[in-house]
Structure 1
Amino acid sequence: MSGTVLVTSRSFGSGGFDAEAALTAEGYRVVRAGAAHDLGELAPLLADADGWIAGTGPVTAAHLDLAPRLRGIARYGVGVDNIDLAAAAARGIPVTNTPGANSTAVAEHTIALLLTALRGIPAADRRVRVGDWSGRSARELSALTVGVVGLGRIGRLVIERLRAFGATVIGADPWVDAADPIFDAVERADAESLATRCDVVTLHAPGGQTVIDERWLAADDRPVLLVNTARADLVDEEAVARAARRGRVAAYAADTLAKENAGDSASPLLAADLADRVVVTAHLGAQTREGVDGMGRMAVADMVALLTGSAPAHPVRA
């Protein structure tokens, strides 16, 4: 066996499992490149790539046109909305992902962000550092009603943890049948109704849709805490910023933003006047040792299968 595998995931092999060594042991040369998937940077590397272990950056038809030897793409993570699956299928390039590998990590990060925003921890830390030891009243999670949008692996793990805190939980997912056992544990509702019923709403749905928009936010004036560890396009960030300023959004905590570069084009949620109500982390949800190792093992195994003509364990259908 021989060939070249391009790796563009930031955390590939950064846990306890040496994913790069595992590929090398199978006879493959590993080439690393930036996670942004810049076409200029990747052009010469894609020309020689037999396999591609891709992170969160876009994988477009233009990328695939630069990769005449490519025999498979292993998405290092779960979501594949960054990959043009139709373009890959048209070129006969199979795609895999790593379902479940980082679900626990993301669920735990969701709870961490929720509690951080609920108790105003970043703002409290900033006050202490300038000598202000004044307190601020907060709410207890056990007293709140939490809406969970998206009842896949991560959403269900989040529900388990919310119920352990004693929160009242409502679940929304149009693709989950009403007879699903999850609704023995939580009330079933639609995402629209959560606008008037919930103190907290946490998002775990696929991208490609907007759940929290101007209309959703205008349905009530009660303060709501929003958490997003899924996809940036699930929220209208301009609408959320406006709602935060008028008090409709008590806090927003996220692991992703639509505009993740600094400067004039930065997300409106990063405005200085919202600093005490907005908490953002840089795609840290999956970044635990266990999550990274799980993704690494699955991506390597599927990549080897793709390059040797075997059936991968986790194929993604276009």
Structure 2
Amino acid sequence: MAEIKHDFLTWPWQRWAAERPSDVAISLGDQTKGAQTYTWAEVSTQVDVFAQGLVEQGIKRDQLVAVIADNTIDVVWLILAIIRIGARYVGLNPKLSFAEIQQQLAMLDNHYLWSDRDIATEQLTGQEITLRQPEVSRMVPVTWQEHRPVTLTLTSGSTGSPKAVVHSPESHLASASGLLSKMTFNAEDSWLLSLPLFHISGLAILWRWLYRGACLVIVEKALQQQALSWVTHASLVPTQLQRLLDQVPTQQPIALKQVLLGGAHIPVSLTDKARSAGIDCWCGYGMTEMASTISVKQADESQGVGNVLPNRELFLREGEILVRGKSLCLGYYRNHTIFLYFR
């Protein structure tokens, strides 16, 4: 199995803040109207500030913080700050009914809860917290450990009740490095945060950004289609790409260079048109337990889901397809315990 190594000896945002402090790490809002930006130095500072605020509210290592929200900059700050203090993040789909949210939180038995919407949090599991600066500056005595459990992601529950899949920085970064050995994504590039952070595909975008030290672009849902005009990378469904190509006049340069397509049938006519516009399209197969993408290929007329990426292995046993590798999750979370069903 081909293996891609990463060499993070500290928190990824701290590494990039040390190496490229003035590079833009986050672009927030409409770029045509002057988007707000954060450099890596500012990201590193902001994460530590919010981490201190979480510690001040009593959150301890290995405790579980549930977040119910759509993608915003606040959710990104929360995820990074939660990880920074050694706690664990789990996102819930805000479109679920109140009863479904109650049920999922009861199953998780989370310690803390944050939401950006007006819901009856007193009827939900977990003490409500806020994203804020500390009243008194303090040290955050948690060091970088790539094997530490940091995120929980709920599966779709298509084969039964949803399972809470536990990943570490090692598995997330292994997933990112394997995909980026095929897709070109450099430090000067930008990836649109177009998928929800309560889903493994959204978290995968976050960890690709952290792995490469590039720019993460965050906009409101209403601006996502427009944002495709100024980002270099995006994860899309085919109709989003089709709309972009329909709107852009022939011969006009497009910033978008690489697209990871999924969620629906991908017409060859679409990928041919994208290629003519200078956009490379990719598709593949993935799963929550493997931190997103397992195999990938250029989206074209060829069949299949591509070749297995570095840091993953695929093999057959008694008629079943099995996968393993560096991107494999630690296990499933239940009753405050990680059940190591794998490895």
User: Shorter-chain TM-score: which interval?
Assistant: 0.3 to 0.5
Structure ranking higher on relative contact order (CA contacts 8 Å, 6+ apart): 1
Structure showing greater radius of gyration is 1
Give the alignment's TM-score, normalised by structure 2: 0.35
Give the alignment's TM-score, normalised by structure 1: 0.37
Q: Of Structure 1 and Structure 2, which has the larger fraction of its residues in strand?
A: 2
